Amino acid sequence: MKDNWNLILLDILLPGINGFEFLTSFRKINTETPIIVLTACSAPTDIVAGLDLGGHDYVTKPFHVEELLARIRACIRNQSRSFEPTLEIEKNVPFIYSLKETIVNLRTREVLQNGVKINLTPKEFQLLLYLIEHPNEILTRKKILNEVWGYIFLGNSNIVDVYIRYLRKKLNSSFPNIRTIRGVGYILEI
C-alpha cells in the first residue's frame, strides 16, 4: 500500500460496506497499521470478530473522548515499539528464540513450528515476544496491558485473555505451556 497511515478509526456501521468487510480487505494489503474499531456494536461476537479480523482495539459507543485519545496514543506508541527489535539486533542482541519445536525470528517477525509458518497479527507477535522475554515469570493482566498495548487500563478488560486464547489456538502443543494464574494473569512455563 502506498499510503502510510498512523492509525485508522473504523466504524462497523459504514454506508455501502460493512466495517468488518473493510477490515478484512485492508488487512490483506496492510497488516501493520493500527486500527481501532469504534462502533455501537457491543455484542461479544462483534468485539471478537473485530479483534480476530485485525483490529488492535475495540471501543464501543458511547465513549469518553479522553479514553479514546489515550487509546489512540497507546496504539501509535505501541506501533513505534514494534520496530524496536531491529535496533536491538544491530546491538548484537540475539534475534532468534527457540522453544521446543518453535522458532521465533525477530528479524523477519516469523514464527515457525516444526518448519510450518504460523501467521500471527502484529499484536499477537508482540504478546508472544513479551511472554518469551519473561519466561517462568507471573505476568499480571495489567502489566501485560501496559507493556504490550502501551496503556494502563482502568476497569475490566478481557483483551489480554482474548489474545492469549488466540496464541494458544495458533500455537500447537509443541509450544511451551502458557498457564493461567487464576485471578492474576499468565506465565510461560519453560
pLDDT digits (tens, 9 = 90+) for 143-184: 898 888 876 665 567 888 999 999 998 887 767 788 999 988
Question: For residue 139, what pLDDT is reported?
Answer: 93
Q: Which of 63-77, 92-106, 139-153 has the lowest mean pLDDT?
A: 92-106
Cell numbers at residue 171, please?
Answer: 500455537
Is the model's pLDDT at 78 over the cut of 50?
yes
Query: Which three cell numbers mark 52?
Result: 480476530
Span 41-64, pLDDT tens digits: 888 888 888 888 888 888 888 888
Question: What per-residue string of b and e applies to 53-68 under the rule 16 or more CB within 10 Å gives b?
Answer: bbbbbbbeeeeeeeee
Summarize pLDDT for 107-138 with one digit per residue, the tens: 788 888 877 888 888 889 999 989 988 888 99
Mapped onto helix, strand or coil, the DSSP state of residue 49 is: helix
What gap in Å lies between CA 185 and CA 173, rounded to an integer?
20
Show the domains of the chain with their CATH numbers.
1-81 (3.40.50.2300), 83-190 (1.10.10.10)
> Whole-prediction pTM value?
0.53
- Model confidence at 87, pLDDT cuts 50, 70, 90, reads very low
Give the mean pLDDT of 20-35: 85
pLDDT, residue 109, reads 83
Rounded Cα gap, residues 136 and 151, in angstroms: 24
Are the CB atoms for 147 and 166 separated by under 8 Å? no
- Residue 85 predicted with pLDDT over 60: no
Displacement of CA 165 from its chain's centroid (Å): 12
Show Cβ contacts of residue 77 under 8 Å, excluding neighbours closer than 6 positions: 150
Mean pLDDT, rounded, of the chain: 80
CA distance 112 to 186: 22
- Phi then psi for residue 168, to 5 deg, are -60, -40
Reported as a pLDDT band with limits 50, 70 and 90, residue 90 is very low
